[in-house]
Amino acid sequence: MSTSSHDEGKDAQQYAGNVQREHDHARFAQTASAEVPPVQTTHDASPPSYAVATQAGVLKVESVNRVWRRDSRIALFVGIALASYIYSLDGTTTYLYAAGATSSFGQHSLLGAIATAQAIVLAVSKPFAAKFADVFGRAEAFVLAVFFYCLGYIIIAACSNVHTYAAGAVIYYVGYAALQILIQIVIADCTNLRWRGLISSLTSVWFFVNAFVSGNIAQGVLATSNWHWGYAMFIILIPVTLSPIISTLLWAQIRAKRLGLDATDLVEEHGGTIAKAKDTRPLGKRMLSWALDIDALGLLLFGAGWACILLPLTLANKGTLWWTSYKIIVLLVVGGLTLITFVAYERFGAKKPLFPFRFFRSPTVLACALIGFFDFVSFYLQYTYQYSFIAVVKDWSVKDQGYFAYTQSLSLTLGAILAGFYQLYFRRTKWLLLFGLLVRLLGVGLMIHSKGAHGSTAELVIVQVLQGLGGGIASASTQLLAQASVPHQDVATVTAFVLLFAEIGNAVGTAIATAIWRDWMPRELASHLTGILSSTEIASVFGSITTAVTYRGTNDAAYDGIVGAYTETMKILLIAATAIAVVPPFLALMVSNIKLSNDQNAVEGEDLAGRPTDARREKDADLA
């Protein structure tokens, strides 16, 4: 674990009991950089430690790792499994009720606006959840996630108008985003580098089950009740399924505190510990300290900036506004200026920055984030209109279309699990990452042919599987490498950092795909259908895939022209996706070939409880 640093005259009591750890790390300070964490690459010995302020939530989970027993560790992983399952079940069922819910109020058109707000919340809530977990604790962060989850679903279940429904849908998404990242953070806290990739990937195994049962669950709910109950049942399910992981973490925190191993007192001497200094500051000063610790101003600037950027992207994608609208331009300018202010504040003003600048100075961390960004841009370039293309070009049933849609997701899950086993056995993942990205690139490139007018079903499925396997390997490797390259204090925020870049890539890829589709498809339809259909009919085909499908079997000439237009437009999207997919393999060459040891990370030479490992002790002795 990284050391705590004392700020003179401020928060001294927060770091009481860390004197010995400060001393242990002090002799490494001259050999390590606080800006660029060293990483372990080609040998077993851990690199030198460096000083970075450690917050209470991180110290809590380290103390928790000191009191785990076999039974409590099993209970924790059972809790993680249950939390992962309910997250998966929620994500694969509740979206099926959204259309019916908004339609019941006669406001189906607002579904896009709600989705826009949820996309913004999904992007900005993860850094907030990570920072909250660092400041207050992992168990406390799970409790906050449950609160937002249940509050949102209570509002939805009791709503009587679409505006109340929308408010509940946005509030619940805060809990949804928080749960997603907290599961990964706790796994990183409680697993060493060798096992982390596999355990993290196994949390997605529930998708193999829910991908096939979620539709039946939703159908059963709607047949026996209504969409209100579809949401309301999670008011019960969420607290019940998350209670094991919360109770296990709280129990361990209480036990550690009773033993003297609390968040501000980790030094053990002769079976006892140094006494904890109590915080006697006035409430106002404590609240100000909490605001500085959680970087409240930084979170506000960050959230406002990305909201202003993502909102116009999403509105333009959905056709609500065009890129030439002054509203789009104003939002983008305001968002850009706000993010510039955020960066300046984080660099020069924040006491505990949301994203420390050492992230941007670490080649491995930055490369992993950019890999996620470009990979998602490439993916959403070809995925955004994939369903429309298949629905028009292929005469498949709705069920077959659903199975096809799940093919890549299932393959992605399988690829991540296989990568986890590889990491466990070979203890490296850099070249596996490169391999996965090349497989991903191959899958995208082959789609240029398979998604042509005469591409076979087998070809379509194979390229989806290739993309999924490569993407799963890449995602499992990038997250692990980023987490391994930072001290324990930074694990939560670096996870949010990598996931944030992926979310931005999603928005950018979707925006580019939409712009290409709107510009290219009308011209292709006009080129293929002029003289066959009237301009009004051509406009109707562009506006609705349902209309396009009606020409199948009734007007072969028109249908062949429609298929030709879809094929040419999809080819442009796939060429762009392939070009973007070339970038991530080169970025993979920038990452360090980190040895996946039994340590918490490759920076500090400490175990999960923050104690020096044997390799660290040997270095300590050599430098003494």
Local structure of 272: helix, strand or coil = strand
**Tokens at 221, concatenated:** 């709910």
Q: What is the pLDDT of residues 494-537, one digit of tens each?
A: 999 998 889 888 878 887 887 888 888 888 888 888 888 888 88
Neighbours of 161 (CB within 10 A): 9
pLDDT at 274: 40
pLDDT at 123: 80
pLDDT at 62: 83
Which residues does 409 contact at the CB level (< 8 Å), separation at least 6? 207, 211, 468
User: Residue 97: in which H helix or E strand, if any?
Assistant: helix 95-104
Q: What is the pLDDT of residues 17-36, one digit of tens each?
A: 343 444 443 333 333 333 44
Tell me which DSSP letter residue 601 carries: -
CA distances from 327 to 24, 320, 340, 473, 509 (A): 56, 11, 20, 40, 21
Local structure of 606: helix, strand or coil = strand
Label residue 370 left, alpha or beta by phi (over 0 means left) and psi (-120 to 50 means alpha). Answer: alpha
Local structure of 589: helix, strand or coil = coil
pLDDT at 8: 34
Domain 358-592 belongs to what architecture? Up-down Bundle (1.20)
Rounded to whole angstroms, how far apart are CA atoms 84 and 90? 10
| Domain boundaries of the chain, sorted by first residue | 1-54, 55-269+284-290, 296-350, 358-592
Averages of pLDDT over each 10 residues, the chain, 624 residues: 36 37 36 39 40 72 82 89 91 79 74 75 86 89 94 92 89 91 92 91 87 80 83 91 92 81 46 48 75 82 83 64 73 89 86 82 92 93 83 77 78 93 93 95 85 71 90 93 90 90 84 82 88 86 82 86 89 92 95 89 78 61 49
Beta strand ranges found along 56-145 (DSSP E): none
Identify whether the C-beta of residue 336 lies closer than 8 Å to the C-beta of residue 288. no
CA distances from 562 to 395, 457, 528, 537 (A): 14, 19, 7, 12
Closest CA to 39 of 591, 617, 623: 591
Q: Tokens 């997605």: give the residue.
A: 204
CA 149 from centroid of its chain's CA atoms: 17
Q: Tokens 């990598």: give the residue.
A: 498
Alpha-helical (H) ranges within 325-362 are 326-348, 358-361
pLDDT at 617: 53
In this structure, what are the phi and psi dihedrals at residue 200, rounded to the nearest 5 degrees?
-60, -40
CATH number belonging to domain 55-269+284-290: 1.20.1250.20
Comparing 55-269+284-290 with 358-592, is the CATH topology the same?
yes
Label residue 322 left, alpha or beta by phi (over 0 means left) and psi (-120 to 50 means alpha). Answer: beta
pLDDT at 163: 86
> What is this structure's pTM?
0.82
pLDDT at 46: 37
